[in-house]
């Protein structure tokens, strides 16, 4: 069984690594990383991804020179380019919402975490599409998602994440409606009321919902509005 605490620690400790030592990655290790990608989620289990491995130094240098923020790529032992088949057999709804494309990013994240668990560093690289397609002979139906530069860590380890490195969770979390905080104020309590039908005015569930999710101020306003609803029925 998966140790959930270890998994959370792995996710929180993951860093982008742009400096590698000269140790080569053996085939068994590379296969483990690719297996993690193979088990990523995809719409209707379509598994639309393809992984192209680049180890040729001249190719790595060429790709690095054509991209921005990618100087380190020329010294990476391995680059895995991830593409997704745009013509994969899926229903129109999933294709329309690009679910097959997004699954390619899920595969990349799986590889990154698998590598990190093996003390191997990675960094997501945004390659120049025209240069990459020509050099690697990527077919037209393949969507270029991105690439991972991969290698064993050298002595220049990135510093661990600190709380100050991340935006607070409250700044990126909403409840029921975009931009609505868990504890709303009196002025916004009628937004909350829209979530409680009139039929729930006397119900335990409706009352507890307001008390739990909106706080005392909104609950007080809810009680006032409930009386109005009940009076309207008379």
Print pLDDT tens along the chain (234 aa): 456 558 888 988 899 999 999 899 999 999 999 999 999 999 898 999 999 999 999 999 999 999 999 999 999 999 999 999 998 888 888 788 788 889 999 999 999 999 999 999 999 999 999 999 999 999 999 999 999 999 999 887 777 777 778 888 777 888 777 777 765 443 334 435 444 444 444 454 556 666 666 667 767 776 777 677 666 655
What is the domain-level CATH number for residue 124?
Answer: 3.40.109.10
Which of 92, 123, 152 finishes a domain?
Answer: 152
Residue 153 has a CB neighbour count (10 Å cut-off) of 17
Give me the residue label for tokens 């990618």: 70
Question: Which long-range contacts link 56-61 to residues 24+ away (Cβ below 8 Å)?
Answer: 59/135
Residues 65 and 181 in one domain: no
Residues 181 and 140 in one domain: no
Number of domains making up the chain:
2
CB-count burial class (<10 Å; 0-12, 13-18, 19+) for 200: middle
Task: Judge whether 98 lies within some domain.
Answer: yes
Six-digit token string for 79? 């680059």
Task: Judge whether 112 lies within some domain.
Answer: yes
Task: Judge whether 210 lies within some domain.
Answer: yes
Task: Judge whether 165 lies within some domain.
Answer: no
Rounded-to-integer distance, Cα 176 and Cα 182, Å: 9
What predicted TM-score, i.e. pTM, was given to this entire model?
A: 0.75
Residues 144 and 212 in one domain: no
Residue 7 has a CB neighbour count (10 Å cut-off) of 12
* Residue range of the domain that includes 188: 173-232
Task: Judge whether 139 lies within some domain.
Answer: yes
Task: Judge whether 158 lies within some domain.
Answer: no
Name the helix (H) or strand (E) containing 10. Answer: helix 4-13
Contact between 80 and 147 under an 8 Å Cβ cutoff? The reply is yes
Residues 101 and 133 in one domain: yes
Residues 124 and 189 in one domain: no
Residues 179 and 221 in one domain: yes
């Amino acid at each position: 069984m998966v140790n959930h605490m270890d998994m959370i620690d792995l996710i929180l400790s993951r860093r982008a690594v742009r400096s590698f030592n000269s140790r080569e990655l053996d085939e068994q290790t590379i296969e483990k990383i690719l297996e993690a990608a193979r088990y990523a989620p995809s719409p209707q289990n379509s598994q639309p991804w393809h992984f192209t491995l680049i180890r040729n130094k001249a190719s790595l240098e060429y790709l690095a020179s054509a991209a921005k923020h990618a100087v380190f790529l020329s010294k990476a032992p391995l680059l895995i380019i991830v593409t997704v088949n745009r013509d994969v057999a899926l229903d129109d709804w999933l294709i329309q919402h690009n679910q097959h494309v997004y699954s390619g990013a899920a595969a990349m994240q799986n590889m990154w975490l698998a590598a990190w668990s093996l003390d191997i560093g990675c960094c997501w690289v945004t390659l120049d599409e025209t240069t990459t397609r020509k050099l690697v002979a990527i077919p037209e139906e393949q969507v270029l998602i991105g690439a991972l530069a991969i290698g064993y860590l050298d002595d220049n380890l990135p510093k661990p994440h600190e709380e100050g490195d991340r935006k607070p969770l409250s700044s990126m979390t909403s409840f029921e409606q975009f931009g609505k905080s868990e504890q709303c104020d009196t002025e916004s309590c009628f937004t909350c009321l829209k979530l409680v039908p009139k039929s729930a005015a006397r119900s335990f569930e409706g009352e507890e919902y307001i008390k739990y999710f909106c706080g005392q101020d909104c609950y007080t306003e809810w009680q006032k509005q409930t009386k109005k609803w009940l009076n309207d029925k008379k």
